[in-house]
């Protein structure tokens, strides 16, 4: 929400009757009060004619102001027109600062007939509150507050991620004129419940935040905002992330038997997983806790993983990349967490063999069918032929991924840059950039050949076939499903 003043601007509309005017006249309005911040002018009726020839303001309208400190010290309006009818009014809209409530400001409007000689200005009657020649300014009255956030559930992970976690709030003031104004100043905030610290508020009531010092969550957090004698409460539940636990899928990492030789050594990689329990104490009985166990928070804390020996392994997020034989410890967060794993990179004499290669198509493929000509439901033969030959566009492309299964049971994801993909039926499926494929016709079969080529030695390590099924989607029957299978 954009920033806004604490209260809407005080405003007044003044109606000046022009019924007594005729012929070329000059209208002048003036007010001298530093509280005026903006003036706009309009007129209605058919009496406003063309501008007077050679008028001081050729456009017929001239507003000047002397600005000081963001407010108008005074303003003047000059309007020179030829009045040809008697049913016109001049409308002035004046705005003042938000601190001016029920203020009366003197306003003088006169008219002068434009003739060859000097004339005496005549006061114009005004219609509105405040009496003749006065402007009555009144501000809308505050009637209530809306205080809320975009979620009623929050998870405190500030301690896990080692940084402040911010949750924006929205505070709206409700006025008698039905306006809703977002506020960013002047309000006071406090956490009413629970008694122990679960969440913090800032001085502007614009955010709630967790800084990592909190020790618990709560099933009933109540935050109260106050302004102008009104209060509003925000209710939410806060889950607390507990001390994380670490594991690694392969604590022993070995070099692959392929490619052979010392020139292009390739190690299997490991992956660290971090889980944490999320607790929600009940406000009626803090000892009673609702718990969601073993929530995977690896992506949240991956940047906090460190290794004690970068000569043995380095980290790429949660992925452990071996460099040479040795032993290294991988730790997460402060020592008090006691969250660490040990990984061993074995000597080259204990290389592990590749057992299998598993390429697969992870996205189903389908084509939108577009039969031509009217067909009856009973004309199934002709309809089938049309469906096999006519289509308008693909409803999605596929992506090929692959992994290698090692003899010790570990798996190794193969980067797409090392995959060579070939179509065995280009009338059904074609190969795009990277590891993408696209359907161009209907059919099913072993239509993709995927080869793993080692980037260092440029040798083929493994290859496999992928079974592809491309189905036709009838636009009138959008529930048609697609399936894919894989083979090695």
Euclidean distance between CA atoms 398 and 405, whole angstroms = 23
What pLDDT score was predicted for residue 386?
Answer: 30
Tokens 């109260």 map to which residue? 224
Q: How confident is the model at residue 168 (pLDDT cuts 50, 70, 90)?
A: very high
**Mean pLDDT computed over 210-235:** 90
Q: Is the pLDDT of residue 373 over 60?
A: no
Q: Is the pLDDT of residue 372 over 50?
A: no
**Mean pLDDT computed over 322-329:** 94
Q: In the beta sheet, which residues pair with residue 35? A: none
CA–CA distances in Å: residue 102 to residues 126, 138, 149, 399: 18, 4, 34, 69
**Mean pLDDT computed over 51-57:** 51
- Whether the Cβ atoms of residue 442 and residue 389 lie closer than 8 Å to each other: no
- With residue 253 as reference, give the H or E element that holds it: strand 252-253
**Mean pLDDT computed over 458-482:** 71
User: What mean pLDDT is reported for the chain?
Assistant: 74
**Mean pLDDT computed over 135-163:** 82
Within 8 A by CB and 6+ apart from 447, the residues are: 423, 424, 425, 428, 429, 466, 467, 468
Answer with the residue of higher pLDDT: 75 or 350.
350
Quick one: which of 219, 223, 225 has its CA closest to 199? 223
Q: Is the pLDDT of residue 71 over 90?
A: no
Quick one: which of 111, 116, 114, 87 has its CA closest to 24? 114
Q: Is the pLDDT of residue 282 over 50?
A: yes
Q: How confident is the model at residue 334 (pLDDT cuts 50, 70, 90)?
A: confident
CA–CA distances in Å: residue 243 to residues 49, 54, 157, 294, 336: 80, 83, 10, 11, 9
């Amino acid at each position: 929400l954009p920033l806004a003043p604490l209260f809407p601007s005080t405003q007044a509309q003044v109606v000046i009757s022009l019924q007594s005017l005729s012929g070329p006249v000059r209208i002048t309005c003036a007010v001298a009060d530093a509280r005026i911040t903006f003036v706009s002018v309009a007129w209605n009726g058919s009496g406003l004619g063309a501008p007077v020839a050679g008028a001081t303001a050729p456009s017929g309208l001239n507003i000047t102001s002397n600005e000081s400190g963001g407010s108008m010290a005074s303003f003047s309006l000059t309007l020179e027109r030829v009045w040809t009818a008697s049913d016109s009014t001049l409308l002035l809209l004046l705005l003042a600062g938000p601190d001016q409530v029920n203020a009366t400001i003197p306003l003088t409007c006169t008219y002068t007939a434009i003739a060859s000689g000097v004339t005496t200005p005549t006061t114009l009657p005004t219609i509105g509150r405040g009496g003749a020649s006065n402007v009555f300014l009144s501000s809308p009255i505050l009637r209530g507050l809306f205080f809320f956030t975009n979620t009623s559930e929050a998870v405190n992970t500030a301690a896990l991620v080692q940084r402040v976690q911010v949750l924006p709030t929205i505070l709206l003031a409700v006025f008698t004129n039905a306006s809703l104004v977002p506020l960013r100043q002047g309000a006071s905030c406090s956490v009413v419940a629970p008694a122990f610290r679960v969440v913090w508020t800032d001085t502007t009531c614009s955010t709630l935040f967790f800084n990592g010092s909190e020790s618990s969550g709560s099933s009933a957090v109540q935050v109260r905002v106050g302004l102008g004698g009104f209060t509003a409460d925000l209710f939410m539940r806060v889950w607390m992330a507990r001390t994380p636990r670490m594991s690694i899928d392969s604590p022993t990492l070995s070099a692959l038997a392929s490619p052979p030789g010392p020139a292009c050594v390739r190690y299997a990689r490991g992956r660290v997983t971090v889980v944490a329990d999320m607790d929600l104490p009940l406000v009626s009985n803090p000892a009673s806790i609702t718990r969601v166990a073993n929530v995977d928070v690896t992506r949240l804390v991956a940047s906090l993983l460190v290794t004690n020996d970068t000569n043995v392994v380095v980290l790429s997020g949660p992925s452990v990349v071996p460099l040479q034989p040795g032993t290294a410890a991988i730790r997460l967060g402060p020592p008090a967490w006691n969250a660490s794993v040990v990984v061993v990179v074995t000597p080259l004499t204990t290389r592990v063999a590749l057992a299998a290669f598993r390429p697969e198509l992870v996205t189903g493929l389908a084509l939108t069918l577009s039969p031509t000509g009217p067909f009856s439901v009973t004309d199934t033969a002709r309809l089938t032929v049309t469906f096999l030959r006519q289509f308008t566009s693909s409803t999605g492309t596929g992506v090929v991924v692959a992994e290698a299964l090692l003899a010790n049971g570990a798996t190794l994801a193969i980067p797409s840059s090392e995959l060579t993909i070939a179509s065995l039926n280009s009338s059904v499926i074609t190969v795009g950039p990277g590891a993408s494929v696209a359907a161009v016709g209907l059919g099913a079969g072993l239509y993709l050949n995927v080869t793993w080529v080692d980037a260092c030695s440029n040798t083929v390590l493994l290859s496999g076939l992928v079974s592809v099924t491309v189905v036709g989607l009838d636009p009138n029957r959008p529930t048609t499903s697609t399936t894919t299978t894989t083979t090695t």
